[in-house]
Amino acid sequence: MVMREDVGRQLPNLVELAEAGDDQAVRRALLGWSPAKLVSATGQGRRRYGATGVGRVDGCGMGVSWLLAISWDGRCREASVVRMTTDRSPLADRMLALLLSDHVEQVRRRAWRAVEQRLDPNRAAHTLPVLVALRSRQRGRQALDGYRDLVAERLAVEPWRLAWLSDDLPTRRWAAEEWLATGPTLTEVVERLETETEQYVASTFIRHVSQQAKAADSSLLLASRHGRLRADGAWLSSDPSVLERLLGDRSALVRRAAQSRLAAQGFDVVGWNERNRSQSRALRALRAAIEVGVEIPVDDLLDLAEGDDPADRRRSRWRGSSRCWTDHGSPVRPPRP
C-alpha cells in the first residue's frame, strides 16, 4: 500500500517532466525504482497516464515513450515498444520487460520481438529482475519462464548466473532457487550459505538443507554459523558428547534441540545446567538454566545486572530480570518452554 501511494505521488511529476522534454530526469527517477515499484506503477500509470494519444508519440522525447509503456491504452503501449526498439538504454530493457506479460497479444508480440533482437548478458541482467517481480501476476510466470529458456538457448548461460549478483533481493532469491533446482550437493549448498550475507536469500538455502539433510550430514550442519542448521544437526545427531557441548550453544534453538535429544537418552540436562551456571557468570549460562527450569535466586540476577559488562547488564534487565523477577525475593522457577 505504501509503495502504491508513493508511485501515485511521483507519477504526475514524471508526466510533467516528460511532457516538458526533461528525459534525463525521467530516466534517473525510473532507474531509481526497484523492480517491484516499477511493476506496481503499471496499475497506477494505466489509471493516471493514458491521455497522450498515439499521434503525439512521434513528436515527443523518450521520457514520454517510457511512461507510455504503463499507459492504459494498448495502442500507446504498442507505440512505446516501437519507439524503444531504438533505445539501447537499461531503462528501455526494464520497460520492455514489463510488456512481455502485457494482456494485449499484439503488444506482447512486439515486446518479445524487440527483446529477442537486443538479447545479450548485460541486458538480461536488467530484464530478469523485472520479470521476477512480475511472476505472481497474470502471464508473469509465463513471461519469466519464456525469457529464462530464451537466455539459456541463445546465450548458452544459466539465467540464474546473470541474476546472482543483482542488487534486487527477490531476484537473488530467485537465482538461489534456480540454482538449487540444478541439484547441487548438500556440501555445496552449505558452503554457498556461509558466504551469503542477506538473510532473505540465506533462508532459501537453509530451508533446502533442512529438508534434504540426513543423519550422516549432522557434522556438516553443526559446523555452520547459522543456528537453524546447527539445531537441525543436533536433532540428527545421536552422539552424547557432541550434544552435551551444544547445551551451551549461543543459539536457544540449538540448546533446546540438544536438551530434547539428551533428555530422551536419560541425560540429566537440569543437573548439567545447574553446574554450568554455578561455574559461569555468562548470560548464556543463565538463560540456558532458565530454559530447563533451574531455580534462579534473585540475588544472582541482581549480581548479573550489576556486572561489569554493559551489554550483559542491558540484556539481563530486559531478558532475564523482566522474566524472572518476583516481589518477594524468593527463587524463581520460570515455566518450561
Taking 50 as the threshold, does the pLDDT of residue 319 lie above it?
Answer: no
| pLDDT for residue 59 | 56
| pLDDT for residue 306 | 63
The arithmetic mean of pLDDT across residues 159-175, rounded, is: 95
> How confident is the prediction for the chain on average, in pLDDT?
84
Whole-angstrom distance, CA of residue 200 vs CA of residue 171: 11
Taking 70 as the threshold, does the pLDDT of residue 46 lie above it?
Answer: no
| pLDDT for residue 58 | 52
pLDDT in tens, 238-275: 999 999 999 999 999 999 999 999 999 999 999 999 99
* In the chain, domain spans: 2-176, 183-266, 268-337
Whole-angstrom distance, CA of residue 133 vs CA of residue 41: 12
Q: How far is CA 7 from the centre of its chain?
A: 22
- Angle, CA 68 vertex, CA 64 and CA 70 arms, to 5°: 135
CA distances to 18, 38, 39, 251 from 49, rounded to whole Å, are 11, 14, 15, 52
How many other CB atoms sit within 10 Å of the CB of residue 92? 25
The arithmetic mean of pLDDT across residues 267-285, rounded, is: 89
Name the residue with higher pLDDT: 72 or 215: 215
Name the residue with higher pLDDT: 44 or 146: 146
pTM of the predicted model as reported, rounded to 2 decimal places: 0.79
Instruction: Tell me the DSSP string of 204-267.
Output: HHHHHHHHH--GGGHHHHHT-S-HHHHHHHHHH---HHHHHHHTT-S-HHHHHHHHHHHHHTT-
| pLDDT for residue 190 | 96
pLDDT in tens, 197-211: 999 999 999 999 999
